[in-house]
């Protein structure tokens, strides 16, 4: 059984929901997973004690959360020395517009280049539009973005674009790279 830290950054909850799904796949494979929100890192966190680290973050205004970036920059040596994985979540990942998908890829590449992290697994997942959680201004802005991206614009309901099969495949790929630490 491997010990895995799964750290995530989220604004509206979809990245956390994906983190729980990834954790479920990994625990289903017999591994121990500790889920931690990137803004609430425990002082006692001993990163080298983990066999693997998975980091997930959402993209807002073409950027990742500063606290996730800082965690990766501060711990890049440990991250580069263990099995590690990164996933990002963006509404644009579900876009039908090639330029939007290319922008998501560029954000990912820039984040990894700037932080100096070379994870073993990288993925971009489509997020969600949760109109029910937005105030009037954000609902208006998100509706405009959704229209531009070819998404759903009925603000009376929420929309989830995440492909859970892709998320499961990502988690299974991470699990396949984990050392077999069981005693024989």
Q: Are residues 138 and 122 in the same domain?
A: no
Residue count of the chain: 184
Q: Is residue 146 situated within a structural domain? A: yes
Alpha carbon of residue 10 to chain centroid: 8
Domain span at 147: 129-161
What domain count does the chain have? 2
Burial of 51 (0-12, 13-18, 19+ CB in 10 A): middle
Q: What average pLDDT does this structure show over 124-133?
A: 93
Reply yes or no on whether the pLDDT at 182 is more than 50.
Answer: no
Q: Are residues 50 and 116 in the same domain?
A: yes
Q: Is residue 111 situated within a structural domain? A: yes
Q: Are residues 67 and 107 in the same domain?
A: yes
Query: CA 54, CA 45: separation in Å to the nearest integer?
Result: 15
Report the pLDDT value the prediction gives residue 103, as an integer from 0 to 100: 84
Write down the pTM of the prediction.
Answer: 0.90
Q: Are residues 144 and 85 in the same domain?
A: no
Residue 68: CA count within 13 A, CB half-sphere: 25
Q: Which comes out higher in pLDDT, residue 98 or 168? A: 168
Report the pLDDT value the prediction gives residue 180, as an integer from 0 to 100: 62
- Work out the angle between the directed axes of helices 164-177 and 14-28 (0-180°, nearest 10): 50
Summarize pLDDT for 8-64 with one digit per residue, the tens: 999 889 999 999 999 999 999 999 999 999 999 988 899 999 999 999 999 888 899
Q: Is residue 140 situated within a structural domain? A: yes
Confidence category of residue 97, pLDDT binned at 50, 70, 90: confident
- Is the Cβ–Cβ distance between 114 and 86 less than 8 Å? no
DSSP string, 29-55: TT-EEEEEEGGG--TT--GGG-SEEEE
Q: Are residues 67 and 157 in the same domain?
A: no
Summarize pLDDT for 137-171 with one digit per residue, the tens: 999 998 998 888 778 999 999 999 999 999 999 99
């Amino acid at each position: 059984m491997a010990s895995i830290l799964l750290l995530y950054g989220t604004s509206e909850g979809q990245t956390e929901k994906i983190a729980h799904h990834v954790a479920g796949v990994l625990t289903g494979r017999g591994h121990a997973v500790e889920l931690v929100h990137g803004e609430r890192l425990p002082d006692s966190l001993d990163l080298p004690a983990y066999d693997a680290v998975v980091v997930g973050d959402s993209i807002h205004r073409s950027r990742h959360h500063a606290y996730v970036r800082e965690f990766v920059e501060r711990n890049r040596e440990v991250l580069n020395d263990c099995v590690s994985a990164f996933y990002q979540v963006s509404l644009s990942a579900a876009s039908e517009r090639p330029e939007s998908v290319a922008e998501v890829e560029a954000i990912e590449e820039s984040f990894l280049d700037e932080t100096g992290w070379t994870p073993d697994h990288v993925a971009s997942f489509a997020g969600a539009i949760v109109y029910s959680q937005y105030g009037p201004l954000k609902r208006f802005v998100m509706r405009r973005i959704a229209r531009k991206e070819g998404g759903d614009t009925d603000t009376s309901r929420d929309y989830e674009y995440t492909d859970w099969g892709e998320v499961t495949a990502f988690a299974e790929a991470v699990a396949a790279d984990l050392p077999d630490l069981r005693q024989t």
